[in-house]
Amino acid sequence: MEITPIAYFRSPFGTKFGIPRQAGLVEGLRGRIVFEPGFRSAEAIRGLEGFDYIWLVWGFSENPRSSFKATVRPPRLGGNERVGVFASRSPFRPNSLGLSSVRLDSIDLDAKGPDGKPVGPVLEVLGADLMDGTPIYDIKPYVEYSDSHPGVRSGFVDSRSWESLEVVFPEGCVNPGIDLDVLRSVLELDPRPGYHDDPNKTYGMTFEGFDIRFRVEGKTLFVTGIEKKS
């Protein structure tokens, strides 16, 4: 079976580093779904405005498929313990497909691209875990009566909770033109690989067109720089 992207995702993240490891962890994180020309149809999304959440089927475009590996090391387990690939949400999968539930914030039927040409309808969503340019292969509405299963077991996730970091911005930091509240929520999740713990190492990530630099000491993340990408 051959599948073709129906849309591409527009995200504050220019690279995969720093993206929340699951959808919904940063509720205020905004993104846009821009359909490919052949799928830009208001009729194709008729009725979607009645749903609060949608499912996205997408591709791990920055993780090219390689030889099959039966086990992976989830960050939730510190990056050291292994579980079966099909018992994880690892991006390194046989078919490189991802699945995310995101909140549908609004639909812009008259959206225009950077060149001023119509690109609508565009779906404005919240809480996605996708980088900029991610191909989207399908969209389905989230239906509570069948998609929600409260109180069920979640394997190793039940016994390993995330510990949020305290985020400290540089003294006198002036908002350079990005959403610092959302950035703080992203950094609180600790973007580093699970097996990294070097207080002297400076990490970098791209967010809303800015280079964000930081280091982590204990349970505190210190932002050391926010610079506009040239």
Task: Kindly list the domain boundaries of the chain, sorted by start residue.
Answer: 7-147, 163-228
pLDDT tens-place string over residues 126-172 = 999 999 999 999 999 999 999 999 999 998 888 777 789 999 998 87
**Average pLDDT of span 82-110:** 93
pLDDT of residue 59: 94
Looking at domain 7-147, which of 3.40.630.30, 2.40.30.70, 3.40.50.970, 2.60.40.10 is its CATH number? 2.40.30.70
Using left for φ > 0, alpha for ψ between -120 and 50, and beta otherwise, residue 79 falls in left
Whole-prediction pTM: 0.91
Compute and round to an integer the Cα radius of gyration of the chain. Answer: 19
pLDDT tens-place string over residues 48-68 = 999 999 999 999 988 766 678
Residues 6 or more apart in contact with residue 179 via CB below 8 angstroms: 28, 208
